[in-house]
Structure 1
Amino acid sequence: MRFHADLHIHSKYARACSRDSDLEQLSWWARRKGVTLLGTGDFTHPAWYGRLRESLVPAEPGLFRLRDDLERAVDGTLPPVLTGGPLRFMLSVEVATVYRRGGRTRKIHHLVYVPGFDAAEAFNRAAGRAGDLASDGRPVLAMDSRDLLEAVLACGDGAYLVPAHVWTPWFGVFGSTSGFDTVEECFGDLTGHVFALETGLSSDPAMNRRVSGLDRYRLVSHSDAHSPPRIGRETTVFETDLDYFAVLRALRTGDGHAGSVEFFPEGGRYHLDGHRKCGVRLEPHETRERGGRCPVCGRRLTVGVLSRVEELADRPDGAGPDGAAGVRSLVPLPEAVGEVLGVGPGSKKVRLEVDRLTAALGPELAILEDVPVGEIAACSPRLAEAVGRLRRGEVRRDAGYDGEYGTIRILSPDGTPQPG
Structure 2
Amino acid sequence: MRFHADLHIHSKYARACSRDSDLEHLTWWALRKGVALLGTGDFTHPAWFGHLRDRLVPAEPGLFRLREDPSAALDGDAPGALPPGADAGRMRFMLSVEVATVYRRGGRTRKLHHLVYVPDFEAAEAFNRSISRYGDPASDGRPVLGLDARDLLEIVLGSGDGAYLVPAHVWTPWFGVFGSRSGFDTVEECYGDLTGHIFALETGLSSDPAMNWRVSGLDRYRLVSHSDAHSPPRIGRETTVFETSLDYFEVLRALRTGDGLAGTVEFFPEEGRYHIDGHRKCGVRMEPRETRRRGGICPVCGKRLTVGVLSRVEDLADRAEGVRPDGAAGFRSLVPLPEIVGEVLGVGPQSKKVLREIDRLVTALGPELAILEDVPVDEIEACSPPLAEAVARLRRGEVVRDAGYDGEYGAIRLFGPGGPARAGTTAPPTLF
Of 249, 254, 263, which aligns to 2:253? 249
Of 216, 225, 228, which aligns to 1:212? 216
Shift of 1:411: 1.1
Instruction: Give the aligned partner of residue 167 of structure 1.
Output: 171
Instruction: Give the aligned partner of residue 82 of structure 1.
Output: 83
Q: How does 1:107-256 map to 2 (within 5 A)?
A: 107-256=111-260
Secondary structure of residue in 1 paired with 2:100: strand
Given residue 81 of structure 1, which amino acid in structure 2 is its aligned partner? L
- Contact 1:212–1:320 (CA<8 Å) still a contact in 2? no
Structure 2 distance, partners of 1:143, 1:418, is 48
Is there any run of 5+ residues in structure 1 with no aligned partner, and where?
none
- Contact 2:81–2:359 (CA<8 Å) still a contact in 1? no
Residue 348 of structure 2 corresponds to residue 344 of structure 1:
yes
65-74 or 306-315, which deviates more: 65-74
Of 323, 333, 348, which aligns to 2:337? 333
Structure 1 distance, partners of 2:255, 2:232, is 26
Structure 1 distance, partners of 2:350, 2:81, is 19
Shift of 1:324: 1.4
Shift of 1:71: 5.0
Provide Cα deviations, 1:95-118, integer angstroms capped at 9, x if missing partner: 000000000000000000000000
TM-score by length of 2: 0.96
RMSD of the alignment, in Å? 1.0
Secondary structure of residue in 1 paired with 2:97: strand
- Contact 1:3–1:36 (CA<8 Å) still a contact in 2? yes
Q: Residue 372 and residue 69 in structure 1: after superposition, are their counterparts in 2 closer, same or farther (change >3 A)?
A: closer
Q: How does 1:344-383 map to 2 (within 5 A)?
A: 344-383=348-387
Q: How does 1:393-412 map to 2 (within 5 A)?
A: 393-412=397-416
Residue 305 of structure 2 corresponds to residue 310 of structure 1:
no
Given residue 55 of structure 2, which amino acid in structure 1 is its aligned partner? S
Structure 2 distance, partners of 1:388, 1:174, is 35
Structure 2 distance, partners of 1:167, 1:317, is 17
How many residue pairs match? The answer is 419
Secondary structure of residue in 1 paired with 2:278: strand
Shift of 1:60: 0.4
Shift of 1:69: 4.0
Residue 45 of structure 2 corresponds to residue 42 of structure 1:
no
Instruction: Give the aligned partner of residue 296 of structure 2.
Output: 292
Instruction: Give the aligned partner of residue 96 of structure 1.
Output: 100
Structure 2 distance, partners of 1:369, 1:70, is 27
Secondary structure of residue in 2 paired with 1:335: helix
Instruction: Give the aligned partner of residue 28 of structure 1.
Output: 28
Shift of 1:72: 3.6
Provide Cα deviations, 1:201-254, integer angstroms capped at 9, x if missing partner: 000000001000000000000000000000000000000000000000000000
- Contact 1:385–1:417 (CA<8 Å) still a contact in 2? no
Of 101, 106, 110, which aligns to 2:110? 106
Shift of 1:326: 1.4
Given residue 129 of structure 1, which amino acid in structure 2 is its aligned partner? R
Percent identical residues: 81
Of 376, 394, 417, which aligns to 1:390? 394
Structure 1 distance, partners of 2:204, 2:243, is 22
Instruction: Give the aligned partner of residue 274 of structure 1.
Output: 278
Structure 2 distance, partners of 1:216, 1:377, is 42
Is there any run of 5+ residues in structure 2 with no aligned partner, and where?
424-432
Given residue 362 of structure 1, which amino acid in structure 2 is its aligned partner? G
Given residue 82 of structure 2, which amino acid in structure 1 is its aligned partner? V
Shift of 1:68: 2.1
Instruction: Give the aligned partner of residue 4 of structure 1.
Output: 4
Shift of 1:80: 5.2
- Contact 1:223–1:230 (CA<8 Å) still a contact in 2? yes
Given residue 417 of structure 1, which amino acid in structure 2 is its aligned partner? P
Structure 1 distance, partners of 2:229, 2:193, is 32
